[in-house]
Amino acid sequence: GSDDIIAGNVSKHIVLPAGYCGQPKKGHLIFDACFESGNLGRVDHITEFEYDLFIRPDTCNPRFRVWFNFTVENVKESQ
């Protein structure tokens, strides 16, 4: 659930639609936060244009999640 503890950052995580089998194609987004100050802990695919992003809390202050830092690759033109 959304209350799960998020322990680490996503690292070149390819988000595929539920039930999709095969190689990722253009538009299947690749999220990455495996770098200093990256804080994206989990990504859930909702629709082609909607994702739920779960941000890890700040290391020095776990009560706050006021910033985010991650990259997104493999977008298609209309996305």
pTM as predicted: 0.78
**pLDDT (tens digit per residue) in 8-24:** 888 999 999 989 999 99
d(CA 39, CA 72): 13
CA separation (Å) from 22 to 18, 30, 35, 49?
12, 15, 28, 20
The pLDDT value recorded for residue 52 is 95
pLDDT band with cut points at 50, 70 and 90 for residue 36: confident
Cross-strand bridge partners of residue 51? 45
**pLDDT (tens digit per residue) in 48-70:** 889 999 988 877 777 777 778 89
d(CA 37, CA 50): 24
